[in-house]
């Protein structure tokens, strides 16, 4: 640890606070850098920590998607995987462990924080062992399928359980996921719950900031969906829900993101005769500007350990219609800031979306309630100190 008080680079981060009186830390963060909730959370965490005066070193195979412009406290270290004809499967886990070790040694990292257990916590375990006798503790944050899929695929279970147990501290992003982890992996490791967060200055209602007119006329309502279009997200249900809504009112649908189910969703939109009203935008940065255009957010997933998109929508004052699964009920309150329905209840979700879209007062009240909840429970300024406190406990050998 070093430093006594350091100015903050970007005032949008850390709630506009620009001088933090605390010793700063050097933190290595590893995540999947692609579009996806765990990478977004890890990247936003790094940006927030840097804004609070810490040195952040992202270690991954590509620059994380939401990483801001370079700053003196944000560094990126690319993991290059050597290939050789013998390697049918390039050994990324080992390349990552080596890079973690080298960065820790060269930059004097205090600790590593890995997001998503497989394979990141295994690499961190190796890096920590390689660096001995110097100390390099690591924190593992579980995001979802690193636990739930492993529960289904026994081949990964022993090594995931091992690397979780070996972590100096383990966090899960919802009570739901903490419970699943304890059931799957036994009670041999304490799992702390630190919920996901949103930067309430970046994600905030901003009428006029979005170019709504590009997507819908004044007489049309605008629905949105944002995901990585994996099967678990049920993007075809999004299209079906919209088709039912479209039968009742003039509306358009923004599909933000990309992934394996996009082709199926595009086909279904054509099949239902609504293709002209469904806009596939593909992968986007600045998603807050798009969310802000929407009147309602649809998230009909089969499973969400948290549902970061629901929180981002709430912070923008946009009500959600979601599945009552996983950690989503910990984020969205039924009938208050959105609606929760059984997954695959397409008619039910369409009816609730129509309730919101045809009643401006209800939409307004739900949007306001969601924004308040995001501010009170999930804003970065509430959550980042929990990670800092955890790091300090780990560094004090008290994790």
Taking the complex as a whole, how short is the minimal distance between the CB of residue 238 and ligand GMT, in angstroms? 15
Q: Which of 50, 173, 198, 374 binds ligand GMT (CB under 6 A)?
A: 173
Pairing between strand 26-30 and 111-115?
Answer: parallel
Closest CB to ligand GMT among residues 9, 31: 31
Number of residues that bind ligand GMT (CB under 6 A): 19
6 vs 148, beta carbon nearer ligand GMT: 148
Closest contact distance (angstroms) between CB of 331 and ligand GMT is: 9
Task: Specify whether the CB–CB gap between 256 and 290 falls below 8 A.
Answer: yes
Least distance from ligand GMT to the Cβ atom of residue 273, Å:
31
In order of 13, 192, 210, 233, the CA distances from 225 in angstroms are 26, 30, 16, 10
E-only strand ranges, the chain: 6-7, 19-20, 26-30, 55-60, 74-78, 111-115, 138-142, 169-172, 191-193, 221-226, 251-256, 278-282, 296-299, 320-323, 338-341
The b/e string for 50-86 (b: 16+ C-beta within 10 A; e otherwise) is: bbbbbbbbbbbbeebbbbbeeeebbbbbebeeeeeee
Q: Are 199 and 44 in contact (CB under 8 A)?
A: yes
Shortest approach of ligand GMT to residue 55 CB, angstroms? Answer: 24
Count the neighbouring beta carbons within 10 Å of the beta carbon of residue 206.
15
Over the window 174 to 213, marking each residue x when it contacts ligand GMT by CB under 6 A and - when it does not, the resulting string is: ----------------------x-----------------
Q: Nearest-CB residue to ligand GMT?
A: 37
Q: Helix, strand, or coil here: 22? A: coil
Nearest distance from residue 205's CB to ligand GMT, in Å?
A: 21
Shortest CB 144 distance to ligand GMT, Å: 3
Residue 309 CA: distances (Å) to CA of 145, 172, 280, 339: 17, 17, 17, 14
Please state, as a whole number, how many other Cβ atoms lie within 10 Å of the Cβ of residue 361.
7
C-beta closer to ligand GMT: residue 24 or 288: 288
Rounded to the nearest whole angstrom, what is the least distance from the CB of residue 6 to ligand GMT in the complex? Answer: 28
What whole-number distance in Å separates Cα of residue 134 and Cα of residue 111?
11
Where does residue 393 rank: exposed (0-12), middle (13-18), buried (19+ CB within 10 A)?
Answer: middle
> Cβ(109)–Cβ(28) under 8 Å?
yes
Which CB sits closer to ligand GMT, 28 or 144?
A: 144
Q: Is residue 306 a contact point for ligand GMT (CB under 6 A)?
A: yes
Residues 311-340 binding ligand GMT (CB under 6 A) are 326
Using CB under 6 A, pick the residue from 36, 119, 195, 399 that binds ligand GMT: 36
Residues 37-66 that bind ligand GMT (CB under 6 A): 37-39, 41
Scanning residues 215 to 234, which ones bind ligand GMT (CB under 6 A)? 232
Q: How far is the CB of 248 from ligand GMT (least distance, A)?
A: 30
Q: Which residue's CB is nearer to ligand GMT, number 45 or number 97?
A: 45
Q: Considering only CA atoms, which of 294, 299, 292 is closest in space to residue 226?
A: 299
Judged by CB, which is closer to ligand GMT: 317, or 326? 326
Q: Which is nearer to ligand GMT, 123 or 145 (CB)?
A: 145
Q: Does 303 bind ligand GMT (CB under 6 A)?
A: yes
Report the C-alpha gap between 147 and 167 in whole angstroms. 15
Can residue 140 be called a binding residue for ligand GMT (CB under 6 A)? no
Complex with ligand GMT: residue 119 or 307, whichever CB lies closer: 307
Q: How far is the CB of 305 from ligand GMT (least distance, A)?
A: 3
143 part of the interface to ligand GMT, by CB under 6 A: yes
- Interacting residue ranges for ligand GMT, rule: CB under 6 A: 32, 36-39, 41, 143-145, 173, 196, 232, 303-308, 326
């Amino acid at each position: 640890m070093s430093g006594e008080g350091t100015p903050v680079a970007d005032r949008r981060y850390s709630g506009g606070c620009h001088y933090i009186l605390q010793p700063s830390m050097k933190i290595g963060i590893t995540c999947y850098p692609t579009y996806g909730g765990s990478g977004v959370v890890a990247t936003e965490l790094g940006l927030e920590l840097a804004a609070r005066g810490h040195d952040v070193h992202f270690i991954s195979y590509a620059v994380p998607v939401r990483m801001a412009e370079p700053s003196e406290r944000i560094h990126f270290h690319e993991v290059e995987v050597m290939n050789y004809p013998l390697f049918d499967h390039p050994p990324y886990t080992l390349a990552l462990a080596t890079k973690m070790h080298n960065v820790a040694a060269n930059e004097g990292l205090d600790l590593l924080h890995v997001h998503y257990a497989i394979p990141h916590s295994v690499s961190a375990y190796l890096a920590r062992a390689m660096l001995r006798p110097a100390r390099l503790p690591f924190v593992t944050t579980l995001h979802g399928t690193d636990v739930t899929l492993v529960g289904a695929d026994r081949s990964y279970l022993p090594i995931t359980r091992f690397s979780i147990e070996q972590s100096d501290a383990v966090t899960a992003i919802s009570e739901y996921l903490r419970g699943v982890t304890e059931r799957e992996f036994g009670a041999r490791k304490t799992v702390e719950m630190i919920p996901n967060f949103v930067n309430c200055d970046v994600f905030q209602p901003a009428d006029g900031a979005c170019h709504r007119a590009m997507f819908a006329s004044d007489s049309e309502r605008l629905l949105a969906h944002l995901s990585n279009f994996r099967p678990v997200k049920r993007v075809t249900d999004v299209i079906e829900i919209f088709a039912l809504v479209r039968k009742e009112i003039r509306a358009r649908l923004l599909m933000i993101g990309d992934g394996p189910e996009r082709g199926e969703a595009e086909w279904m939109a054509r099949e239902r005769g609504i293709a002209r009203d469904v806009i596939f935008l593909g992968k986007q940065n600045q998603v807050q500007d798009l969310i802000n255009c929407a009147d309602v957010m649809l998230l009909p997933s089969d499973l969400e350990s948290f549902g970061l998109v629901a929180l981002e929508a709430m912070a923008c004052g946009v009500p959600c219609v979601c599945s009552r699964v996983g950690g989503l009920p910990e984020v969205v309150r039924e009938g208050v800031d959105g609606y929760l329905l059984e997954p695959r209840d397409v008619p039910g979700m369409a009816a609730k979306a129509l309730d919101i879209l045809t009643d401006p007062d209800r939409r307004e009240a739900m949007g306001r309630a969601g924004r308040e909840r995001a501010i009170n429970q999930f804003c970065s300024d509430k959550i980042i100190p929990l990670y800092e406190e955890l790091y300090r406990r780990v560094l004090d050998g008290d994790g």
